[in-house]
């Protein structure tokens, strides 16, 4: 009888322990992201547009994020710990076909043989992701990648209110808004066109494609500051002599919204001719329309600022008449 009671005691103890450990799992039961939570995730992803690409980066936006690290980092801001490895990430959450902001999108390589990239859907047919090709976090139209789009998954969250769980504030890609409201307005309008494709000769009258100068022309126009001349060369010439603009003589003086001009860029122009333009957005970053890349955010490196390429910088101080 003693052996029987001893065995019964251990069985009872084991059952009690199982019951006790099961209780927290019921309290912490995960649920799929709601639409409001997804919108919060999408906004956090969009706040990181312009952050540099860094291979292996997933823990610090200031040090750069790689493709999968970007998704992991965004979700980690709300205490949702997603895996970094592609196969584990692809098994997380549940598959969905009716997209909502915050969903994680998966893309294959060109041959379709394996998953090669992820991003976060932000609504209205756009996604945000970190790309080595674009050298950072960019916003792109999903329909442009239909040939490699694999599907989407909606992730789980154990937080009751994801909007109050953010652990850090992602760094802005711009400096503090300059004293000139004109510059801030230009940057805001320019950012709306991130991901728009580049087509040489595109008119500013359409927003389906841009070249470098029509992009700058349209951004200034949308900011309510009038219409610049059409080409980069004519824009630079106008700004250099106009009382509507101030010439910036030092890189350290640049403010968001300043218009930058470059020479000796492109095979279609003669040596020394202004042939490219971009908009400074702060934090040593510019937004520009580039061949094969579209409207992107880039770092203002010595490639642009060297004496062989940099042609001038100008700040609008009053609207163009």
- Regarding beta strands 274-282 and 31-32, do their DSSP bridges make them parallel or antiparallel, or are they unpaired? unpaired
Tell me which DSSP letter residue 50 carries.
T
Helix axes 212-222, 232-241, angle to 10 degrees: 50
One-letter-per-residue 3-state SS of 224-241: CCCCCCCCHHHHHHHHHH
- Position 175 in a domain: no
Nearest CA-CA partner of 121 in 30, 31, 35: 35
What is the C-alpha separation between 60 and 77, in angstroms, rounded? 11
pLDDT tens digits for 153-194? 999 986 544 554 444 444 333 333 333 578 888 988 898 899
Q: Tally Cβ neighbours within 10 Å of residue 142.
A: 18
Q: Judge if 148 and 264 occupy the same domain.
A: no
Q: What is the percent of the chain with per-residue pLDDT over 70, rounded to a whole number?
A: 83
pLDDT at 297: 94
Q: Domain span at residue 51? A: 31-164
- Position 287 in a domain: yes
Helix axes 181-191, 212-222, angle to 10 degrees: 120
- Position 247 in a domain: yes
Q: What is the percent of the chain with per-residue pLDDT over 90, rounded to a whole number?
A: 59
pLDDT at 172: 38
144-to-107, 125, 183, 231 alpha-carbon distances in Å: 12, 10, 30, 27
Q: Is the pLDDT of residue 284 over 90?
A: yes
What average pLDDT does the chain have? 84
pLDDT at 134: 80
Q: How confident is the model at residue 253 (pLDDT cuts 50, 70, 90)?
A: very high
Q: Judge if 189 and 242 occupy the same domain.
A: yes
pLDDT at 184: 85
Q: Judge if 50 and 144 occupy the same domain.
A: yes
User: How large is the average pLDDT for residues 200-211?
Assistant: 92
pLDDT at 108: 92
Q: Judge if 270 and 198 occupy the same domain.
A: yes
What is the C-alpha separation between 232 and 225, in angstroms, rounded? 17
Q: Is the pLDDT of residue 67 over 90?
A: yes
Q: Which of 134, 164, 194 is the last residue of a domain?
A: 164
- Position 169 in a domain: no
pLDDT at 244: 92
pLDDT tens digits for 234-250? 999 999 999 999 999 99
pLDDT tens digits for 14-64? 444 444 444 443 334 468 899 999 999 999 999 999 898 888 889 888 889
Q: Is the pLDDT of residue 107 over 90?
A: yes
Nearest CA-CA partner of 285 in 299, 306, 303, 295: 299
pLDDT at 30: 63
Q: Judge if 125 and 188 occupy the same domain.
A: no
Q: How confident is the model at residue 267 (pLDDT cuts 50, 70, 90)?
A: low
Q: How confident is the model at residue 124 (pLDDT cuts 50, 70, 90)?
A: very high
Contact 45, 120 (CB under 8 A): yes
Contact 206, 196 (CB under 8 A): no
Q: Judge if 51 and 128 occupy the same domain.
A: yes
Contact 255, 307 (CB under 8 A): no
Contact 280, 314 (CB under 8 A): no
- DSSP lists the bridge partners of residue 290 as 294
- Whether the pTM exceeds 0.85: the reply is no
Q: Tally Cβ neighbours within 10 Å of residue 254.
A: 21
pLDDT at 162: 52
As for how many domains the chain has, the answer is 2
Burial class (CB in 10 A: 0-12, 13-18, 19+), 229: middle
CATH code: domain of residue 146 = 3.90.1720.10
């Amino acid at each position: 009888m003693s052996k029987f009671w001893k065995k019964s005691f251990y069985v009872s103890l084991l059952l009690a322990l199982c019951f006790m450990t099961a209780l927290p799992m019921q309290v912490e039961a995960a649920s799929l992201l709601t639409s409001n939570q997804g919108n919060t995730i999408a906004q956090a992803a969009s706040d990181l547009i312009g952050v540099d690409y860094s291979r292996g980066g997933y823990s610090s936006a200031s040090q750069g994020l790689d493709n999968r690290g970007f998704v992991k980092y965004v979700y980690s801001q709300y205490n949702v710990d997603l895996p970094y490895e592609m196969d584990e990430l692809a098994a997380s959450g549940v598959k969905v076909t009716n997209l909502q902001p915050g969903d994680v999108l998966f893309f294959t390589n060109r041959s379709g043989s394996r998953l090669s990239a992820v991003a976060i859907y932000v609504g209205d047919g756009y996604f945000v992701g970190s790309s080595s090709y674009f050298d950072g976090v960019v916003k792109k139209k999903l329909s442009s990648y239909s040939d490699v789009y694999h599907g989407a998954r909606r992730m789980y969250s154990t937080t009751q209110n994801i909007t109050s769980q953010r652990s850090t504030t992602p760094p802005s890609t711009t400096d503090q808004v300059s004293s000139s409201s004109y510059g801030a307005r230009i940057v805001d309008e320019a950012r709306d066109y991130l991901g728009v494709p580049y087509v040489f000769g595109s008119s500013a009258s359409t927003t389906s494609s841009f070249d470098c100068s029509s992009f700058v022309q349209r951004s200034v126009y949308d900011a309510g500051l009038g219409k610049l001349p059409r080409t980069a060369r004519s824009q630079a010439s106008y700004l250099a002599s106009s009382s509507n603009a101030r010439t910036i003589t030092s890189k350290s003086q640049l403010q968001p919204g300043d218009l930058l001009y470059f020479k000796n860029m492109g095979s279609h122009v003669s040596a020394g001719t202004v042939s490219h333009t971009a908009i400074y957005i702060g934090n040593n970053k510019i937004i520009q329309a580039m061949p094969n890349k579209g409207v992107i955010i880039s770092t203002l490196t010595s490639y642009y600022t060297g004496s062989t390429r940099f042609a001038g910088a100008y700040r609008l101080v009053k609207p163009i008449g």
